[in-house]
Structure 1
């Protein structure tokens, strides 16, 4: 999306109100999907967020400081994708001790939530009623993640890191068509919540492109967080989050079923971010680090890469490489669905899923001449007998696509890959009164019920449990040094987007900008492979169809960003050229590409 900070100032006085005003932008930042240079880099889906991260780098901050600054700015300009009321996963390569750290900032279920929370009379409640409800709201993890990252690895105080986002919320940004259309898509349900309608439907309608959108309530929330850190969740802000989820403030006369939630002030105040060992796999001599469970991103990308590595891309050719990628994704998703959940509640066999032996067992299901059948059964993590499966396929769940990703790098060699989300576009649809942010609906990522076979039990609701995610922030090292950092939004397609970016860059030899622009396909153990329109009708589609692959057209897959460390200390930051309105990449000191 393309939106920028508006430095309005006192001269405009009361002309700009909460929400939008018909005030022209004071400046318009150009979008650039590719930037090359030195000293640091930022890539996000939004120019204002990229500039917020870059501003912190200019003032001596590192990649961690820049990532938090950009994330907070995205909470202003991308409020339907992530922010203070959501959570996510944060990866950081530290040059000081040459290792990758990860923070699990996934939302947690209320202490009162049981495995039948989404059942009524023994049957799952309608999914739409779960989405727009207090029942789906988990304790937010973003505030604790931002604070923990700055405390552990940052160089800049939190109050200074938050300054660009506070100014952005106060001064405003220019509404673009993507923001307007996303608001319009949610207008009916936003209208059922007075505080959401007041903020996002000023005058009763979505804001028009070219107008200025301000959010002073969020600026105040950010000021409190900048001063107190995550302790604000132990005070009035946390109490307001819990009260809003427990009894969503619904407009009089609405006929929408809005179920109350189970979240309490203690749930919100007691949230803990978890530092975990990363999921690690070796691919063509590269060290690929991703997010371990509660996310399935790192394990599923890593397993698929391990399977793919068993084949030589030069012998396979281009179509064969794509075929093996789709088959590896099919098999890895079968295992993800069966085995991955919150490790505090499920015995996730992560080491096995990421082992070469297991990859060999799974690869025996791949026929290089034809597509496999879906849904594929999970592999036998106990060892089994060669190609033996372990029970029937498990459900994949229903993940919302509203997520956003960012990457940053600094002059010292630090790199961050961070994915954050509030789940559906617009999350639960419920705005915390007077606080300026939407609440997540991440708990819909739980399985609502378990199959008779027991499949899916690893991801049933439970007290304080984190629902399984597909977020896949990834950092790749080459010879022990940062090489690539990538990630994407898109629900379960996040995994296949990251996988395709890596395969396209490493095995197919595309540059990172070429890989970013390449038409995407997504096989998630389904009968058909999702494909973007630009892929359909190509020779690749025809050849894969002859092998038995079926493709289903979808408008768009992912809105990724990434970076690549080049020679002589240069960094190439890369964003989408077109998807979701296009992203923006920038470097501290631009140079030749």
Structure 2
């Protein structure tokens, strides 16, 4: 014996590990969480949250989750129920963007279901004999409609990302259309605003009006024709909408009323999966909409400009001044450079580059406004806000931020007889004439001119925010103001507030032209307005509020899930279960 143990090194290691292995086995048998199990539990929220513009849509999303679906299936249910009960803002006669995050592998994509121009569309189709834009022709009636993309996008999401059959996720919408929904405040108000145009088209008038007048609050509107359309899609698939008998019904109705759709237009509609815009701000990664949305690039530009400021050292007026100047420059770029990336070369890399933003920031005076006429382009127009947004997080951590639209309230107000849904007027989102504003006051040039099969530029900005401590999902309707509302929501997230606060926050906006700050009644104090005006800004305080933001937050530190629905709407609802 030489005094050394004859036990092998391997045996000594096993003897030391054996007690630990036995303890780990007992822990597992007892059902106690190991460290790995605890980590796995933290990686999923365990609760689902949905916030949308209508309580029936929010409930429909949870119904689909409880039936075994995931966030993507729920998004189909929410989208189609909104298409029934909120035709003021979206519908199967329109389109949208669905931003998806898959929890199991972190995959993210934007499903582009934006409408497309018919093949017979021309750059001058809305110009009168004097070369001026005919606004009525551009926004009312079937000539204003692009080929709708919502059904194609939802079928794509179901097939590629969902767990349930497409037909199952359509059931809540079929039920809503058949059983009806009560008239609520927003629906009542927008119907009053659009009543005279709706009365031009008998099918729409019969569906929404009562003896030619706006029905009273609480009156139940039933849409049996729409229920039959949705049932046909559920039974026969999306081809019936794009190539079958419903497509033929739509084309015949549109052409009879003066539109230019063809069966080839319907059959050639295609969904596009697009890489989202990604940017970083204060250590968080933002994932947002890519072209043909202008929102993601504009948000990246604005945040890159603001990255160079220390807001803690600024008072509210000084902070607002810098935010407004970032808005001004981002909207200038929107007008000059952005359009459908399948038709124009959008300089994404340059516009989202920090060095580019550094140059823009250098042109901002610390206490003087930059007149917009010192930057290229000018115009003037007013704006309305009609679109919808919802945010979803399921118990596994799958995320959906979706912003959908028919453009103006009730789209173009035209309804093909026997269908139960209005068509969009998204053709007005093109630039009908260089430098001439659309219905939202937004100007555009060649990048967004009308071309056959082209998608019009959009402001829709569904967004995810990823950080080590929390994850956010947000977006809003609001026409040209969508982008700035989402920006303010992001900044509020960064300030440590939750979704109930983001969606309630008083809002202000600047879109390059017209050259003034629009503000909700309580966005600024009298002293703050005076300070901004001393810098050279014009502040116009609105007598109304805008937007309808819906957001979801997952706090990774404590596992809490919360959701917020904009109090500006009487019908919206956020539910965590």
The TM tier, using the shorter chain, reads 0.7 to 0.9
The structure with more helix, counted as a fraction of residues: 2
- Of the three residues 66, 82, 93, the one matched with 2:101 is 93
SS in 2 for 1:423: coil
Q: Which residue of 1 aligns with 2:142?
A: 134
Displacement of 1:340 in angstroms is 0.2
Q: Contact between 1:399 and 1:445, CA under 8 Å: does it hold in 2?
A: no
The equivalent residue for 2:249 is 240
Residue 570 (structure 1) aligned with residue 554 (structure 2): no
Give distance in 2, aligned partners of 1:497 and 1:482: 20
RMSD value over aligned CA atoms? 2.0
Partner of 2:505: 518
Partner of 1:18: none
- 1:41 equivalenced with 2:49 (yes/no): yes
Aligned equivalents of 2:444 and 2:457: distance in 1? 14
2:38 corresponding residue in structure 1: none
Superposed displacement of residue 122, structure 1: 5.4
CA deviation map 1:498-542 (0-9, x unaligned): 011111221x44433223212110111131111111225444333
Distance in 1, Cα, partners of 2:466 & 2:555: 12
Moved more, 308-317 or 54-63: 308-317
2:428 aligned with 1:430, yes or no? no
Task: Kindly provide the CA deviation profile for residues 173-217 of structure 1, in whole angstroms up to 9, marking residues without a partner as x.
Answer: 121232222212111111111101111113222121122111111
Structure with a larger share of its residues in strand = 1
- Aligned to 2:297, the other structure's residue is in SS state helix
Matches within 5 A, 1:177-256: 177-232=185-240, 233-248=242-257
Of residues 416, 425, 428, the one that matches 1:444 is 428
Mapped partners of 1:113, 1:224: distance in 2:
29
Q: CA deviation at 1:38?
A: 4.7
Shift of 1:85: 0.2
Give the TM-score taking structure 1 as reference length. Answer: 0.85
Match of 1:56 among 61, 64, 79: 64
Name the SS of the counterpart of 2:142 in structure 1. coil
Question: For 1:350-499, what aligned pairs fall within 5 Å after superposition?
Answer: 350-375=348-373, 377=375, 392-393=376-377, 401-451=385-435, 456-479=445-468, 483-499=471-487
Give the CA deviation at 1:561: 0.6
The answer to whether the 8 Å contact 2:87/2:410 transfers is yes
Shift, 1:399, TM fit: 7.1
Match of residue 296 from structure 1: 294
Does the residue aligned with 1:504 lie in a helix, a strand or coil?
helix
Q: Within 2, Cα distance between the matches of 1:405 and 1:165? A: 17
Structure 2 residue aligned with 1:252: none
How far apart, CA to CA, are the structure 1 residues paired with 2:131 and 2:249?
31
Matches of 1:318 and 1:515 in 2, distance apart? 17
Long gaps (5+) in structure 2? 1-44, 437-442
**Residues 385, 546 of structure 2: 8 Å contact kept:** no
- Change in Cα spacing, 1:62 to 1:358, as seen in structure 2 (3 Å) is same
Corresponding residue number in structure 1 for 2:173 = 165
- After the TM superposition, list the runs of 4 or more consecutive aligned residues in structure 1 that deviate by more than 6 angstroms: 396-399
Choose the corresponding residue for 1:65, options 70, 73, 90: 73
What whole-Å deviation, never above 9, does each CA across 1:39-94 have from its counterpart, x for those lacking one?
21110111111101111111121111111101100011101210100000010111
Is the CA contact (8 Å cut-off) linking 2:127 and 2:134 kept in structure 1? no
CA shift, 1:351, in A, is 0.9
564-573 or 42-51: bigger deviation: 564-573
Q: Alignment partner of 1:192: what SS?
A: coil
| Cα pair 1:338 1:394 within 8 Å, conserved | no
Q: What's the counterpart of residue 164 of structure 2?
A: 156
> Could you list the per-position Cα deviations for residues 109-168 of structure 1 after superposition, in whole angstroms to 9, with x for gaps in the alignment?
011112122223351332123211222110000001111111111111111111111111
Distance 1:364 1:564, change over 3 A: same
Structure 1 residues 114 and 220, CA gap change in structure 2 (3 angstroms): same
Structure showing greater Rg: 2
- Inter-partner Cα distance in structure 2 for 1:371 and 1:104: 37
2:522 pairs with one of 534, 549, 553: 534
SS of the residue 2:163 aligns to: coil
Shift of 1:395: 5.8
Contact 2:97 2:112 in 1 (8 A): yes
- Output the CA distance in 2 between the equivalents of 1:483 and 1:201: 43
Q: Which residue of 2 aligns with 1:261?
A: 259
User: SS at 2:238's partner residue?
Assistant: helix
